[in-house]
Amino acid sequence: MIKLSEYSTEPDKDLSKEEAEELRLKELERIEELQIRLFAGKKKSLLIVLQGVDASGKDGTVKKLFSALNPLGCTCKAWKAPTQEELSHDFLWRIHKELPGKGWIQIFNRSHYEDILVPFVYESLSKDRLKDRLEFIDSFEEFVSEENHTHILKFFLHISQEEQIKRIEERLSNPEKNWKFDPSDLEAHKNFKKYQNAYEWIFSHSKESFPWVIVPSDKKWYRDYLIAKSVRKELEDMDLKYPKLEVQPAQI
Amino acid sequence: MIKLSEYSTEPDKDLSKEEAEELRLKELERIEELQIRLFAGKKKSLLIVLQGVDASGKDGTVKKLFSALNPLGCTCKAWKAPTQEELSHDFLWRIHKELPGKGWIQIFNRSHYEDILVPFVYESLSKDRLKDRLEFIDSFEEFVSEENHTHILKFFLHISQEEQIKRIEERLSNPEKNWKFDPSDLEAHKNFKKYQNAYEWIFSHSKESFPWVIVPSDKKWYRDYLIAKSVRKELEDMDLKYPKLEVQPAQI
């Protein structure tokens, strides 16, 4: 079993904030180039999944990442509680619709993993049913990867309980952050340990096909740097090429 | 390996057309009752898949079946060649969106199985890739069955090559049926044997979870009776109950 307590939430001590910021900007520059190739080639796609407890920095990560991405080929979907219509279907019904088409990057702020996390924490489904769900998710992810060449990057924004308290308090005290506060934050905070357990269970039982990246996220600058680096690496691995011109320029 | 040549395309000799018609109307009456329960209960759903070579009678089956079904809780989706947007996604992307929500019956005129049949006939995908597709379909069907209590009925309308020729000729000679004729009918007719092989391969390699019903379809009256009977039986097996009133009528 993976134990999150064994994973640091703090940055690598050998890297300063200034250095990380410089490196991050370089990563973003490269991501910008690679995204154009992805979009032009229309052969593959990238799904970025962001998960983490409340106040772990999902919104902030999206904002920072988007600064390098052309919205022409990139969208973000923030998942909320399902609607009545969504509830009348299986939990992957609404997810499948929002997967990226060829050439696109899609960012999921929360995801289909909420459909394991929430019933895990509130014990509304048996462990057997949760195991089934996880297997279906594994098979679903393998399917879109094989059939549509969708690469999947899954980030867990790992923060300490102390950091979570600090951020929730800031949402309460800072008028510019008040809007981010939701009474459910307190409920989520109360369940911090249960959510950690749920994540540990998911990480330990998922197939290795698309491993989770556990991102030390107490410091935003370190989190943003690490995620930019992973995204750049994944795009690099996709071996993206511009399509060949099908006409002879000289003939035009 | 299942051999379609071993399956008759002709009706059971012990049943006359008149008897079948009488029985079919009784089945439809019962289907009508059961569909209201399904819709009222909102716990389960039914997906009816119709497959068969060109002119095997898919449209006619839909028309006959619909006469018993309330469109309030039943829709039909006829699948055509995929659009540009659909092609930019995996082949189940457009299918998943059209699955029935709880309480609903959805009829597929053609289906996700075309994504195996066509590449099988035109040899555009390797057998390994086709096997993968079939496994993904199996897992997809199991998933919606388990997660959303969707029952799946799959019918193969089995006609002889002679009957197909007769029906295509009628589309050419009868002005009221001209509109059904498409030059691709001739192509499909030329490939009759290849399509039979593709179906045999699918039937032989599919999991047993949702077995195909091979319907002798040279006579429309027999086909319509058998399908009505299967649909009624499936709805019967779903053990559909009206939901309990949550208020006391006396208090209203």
At B162, the pLDDT band (50, 70, 90 cuts) reads very high
- The pLDDT, as a whole number, for residue A189 is 81
Of B138, B155, B126, B135, residue with least CA distance to B209: B138
| Facing residue for B93 by CB, picked from A42, A96, A103 | A96
Query: How close A108 comes to chain B (CA, Å)?
Result: 17
Token output for B250:
């006396």
Mean pLDDT of the region B186-211: 90
Contact B93, A98 (CB under 8 A): no
**3-class DSSP assignment, residue B80:** coil
- Report whether pLDDT(B209) > 90: no
Provide the shortest C-alpha distance from residue A83 to chain B (in Å).
13
Domains and CATH numbers, chain A: 17-240 (3.40.50.300)
How far A246 CA lies from chain B's nearest CA (Å)?
A: 19
**First-to-last C-alpha distance (Å) of chain B:** 62
> Cβ distance A38 to A238 under 8 Å?
yes
Those residues of chain A that have pLDDT short of 50 are: none
Overall average pLDDT of the B152-178 stretch: 93
Q: Is the pLDDT of residue B80 over 80?
A: yes
ipTM of the complex: 0.90
Q: Write out chain B residues lying below 8 Å of A96, CB-based.
A: 92-93, 96-97
Out of A93, A102, A143, the one facing B99 most closely (by C-beta) is: A93
pLDDT at B68: 85
Per-residue pLDDT at B111: 98
Q: Is the pLDDT of residue B116 over 80?
A: yes
**Is B252 a residue whose pLDDT tops 80?**
no
Which are the contacts of A39, defined by CB distance < 8 A and separation ≥ 6? Answer: A70, A72, A73, A103, A104
